[in-house]
Structure 1
């Protein structure tokens, strides 16, 4: 990384946290690519003007994985895929502009992302699937359940928020101050260059994605309450998602009562201790301890 970039991060407490996050993402990427099981099938799906890159691992009930901002399939889910593929047909995709899915002249929006995910399922002739979404992918999964409820079974919502104010003030400040220059020469750029169809599109993609990240959003609590699917919310106790926001979401799915005078909701909430937004995805065994029983319940 460029010296001036390192010095900038070190001088700015908020940006220092972002810098540490970027480095850790790189470590996760290099540690997980080799562990990703060989895809039974991969290809490009013509959906909504895109050629969406996807991979299919394993056999069984369909399970869709939706990654976070700036991520790729192996960077986000490299450790989980081999385990999940033992019992499920895992469908992992790369979103518009990310990884091996080239960008097109269309705005980034939760609505567009969700329609793309639904379109991929149509292309693969999969009527309904369970979903795991991390960070940005969690919000996209929620929007998919709102716009295409017939396609979404169980939802696993990892370290995410259904509105921008659900993130802590520090995270909101970090996002508000993002620039393309902060990412130049970083592992995020390396990840992009390794797999992108057109590595020269780096600055355009980052500018577009950062602008999208800065936009306020709110999927609407009333829309969420209408989702018929059960949800498993997984978060770290230091992951940057406000706990009040998490409990509001849990309550929208019938959770949060005493469990003494009323039946338990089919939805659940898991908080993994001493865990940040990024280190959460390192804790494969902890995640599987919650994910696998939730998916196994009929």
Structure 2
């Protein structure tokens, strides 16, 4: 699994890192908080690179992309992704966002409808009450020690600078701590087809994902027997359920090609 192209583009004052796999219609892959392209999408890329042009992006403060001293927002991430795609001469694409990446993808549809074709919003949320009980209370007390070990190891393997890990954790946790519920209009205004995916033991409640699905006019819904993202990647213990991921990938292909 080797990217056809990888490198950096200067975007909104920072160097953003990207990788491109496969060929066909473009599908942009947006990772979750604290993560990077391959940590979240390695399994997906191995299954879909024969079908689509997959564009993985490391967001601000993440992976191999530069750091900023401004607070992280989902809107800023959407501006960065749109600007990067412009640099890559990609006029329209579908988007697959996982976890916080799903929030970024919703903002893409809201702020840049002209470049969005179809959306896969995986394990995402738009209201604090949609998260499992205690989530935001635990975020308020989060320290670098509470960041999942696998995410720390992944970041430092890409980026041995420990101060950058501290910056990433600080920016990511503050974004969650200061999160304000979104207006329903963010969802009701989405005009393109959307596939919502979540696990029944995810960090957001299944009821919340159903609520989001009902707000988007042209949406499909898939709730799988899985934890946070284990329907598309290894779980935090490092176990990979290949059959479950196959099922997710097959549904995504069906959604994107019909």
TM-score, normalized by the shorter chain, greater than 0.5: yes
Are the equivalent residues in 2 in contact too, given 1:232–1:268 (CA < 8 A)? yes
Say if 1:98 and 1:196, in contact at 8 Å, map to a contact too.
no
Map of 1:270 onto structure 2? 222
Map 1:107-256 to 2 at 5 A. 107-183=71-147, 186-196=149-159, 198-254=161-217
**In structure 2, how many angstroms separate the alpha carbons of the residues matched to 1:168 and 1:183?**
18
CA distance in 1, matches of 2:185, 2:151: 36
Q: Please report how far the alpha carbon of residue 65 of structure 1 lies from its aligned counterpart in structure 2 after TM superposition.
A: 0.3
Please state if 1:284 is matched with 2:236: no
Give the CA deviation at 1:189: 2.2
Please provide the CA RMSD for this pair. Answer: 1.7
Rounded Cα–Cα distance in structure 2 between residues aligned with 1:120 and 1:276: 31
CA distance in 2: counterparts of 1:240 and 1:278, whole angstroms: 10
Query: Which residue of structure 1 lines up, in the alignment, with residue 3 of structure 2?
Result: 39
Does the 8 Å CA contact 1:102/1:198 hold for their aligned counterparts?
Answer: no
What is the SS of the residue equivalent to 1:51?
strand
Deviation by residue 1:115-152 (Cα, 9 ceiling, x = unmatched): 00111111111111001011000011001110111111
TM-score relative to the length of structure 2: 0.90
CA distance in 2: counterparts of 1:208 and 1:93, whole angstroms = 18
CA contact (8 A) 1:192 1:199 kept: no
* SS in structure 1 at match of 2:231: helix
In 2, Cα distance between the equivalents of 1:223 and 1:117? 18
| Residue of structure 2 equivalent to 1:9 | none
Question: Which runs of 4 or more aligned residues in structure 1 lie more than 4 Å from their structure 2 counterparts after TM superposition?
Answer: none
Which residue of the partner structure matches residue 236 of structure 2?
Answer: none
Structure 2 unmatched ranges of 5 or more:
234-243
Task: Please give the alpha-carbon distance, in whole angstroms, between the structure 1 residues aligned to 2:230 and 2:110.
Answer: 29
Is the helix fraction higher in 1 or 2? 1
TM-score normalised by length of structure 1: 0.79
SS at match of 2:3: coil
Q: Is the 8 A contact 1:65 1:90 kept in 2?
A: yes
- Alignment CA distance shift 1:216-1:104 (3 Å): closer
Q: Give the whole-Å Cα distance in 2 for the aligned partners of 1:39 and 1:120.
A: 17
CA distance in 1, matches of 2:79, 2:51: 27
> Do the aligned partners of 1:136 and 1:160 also contact (CA within 8 Å) in 2?
yes
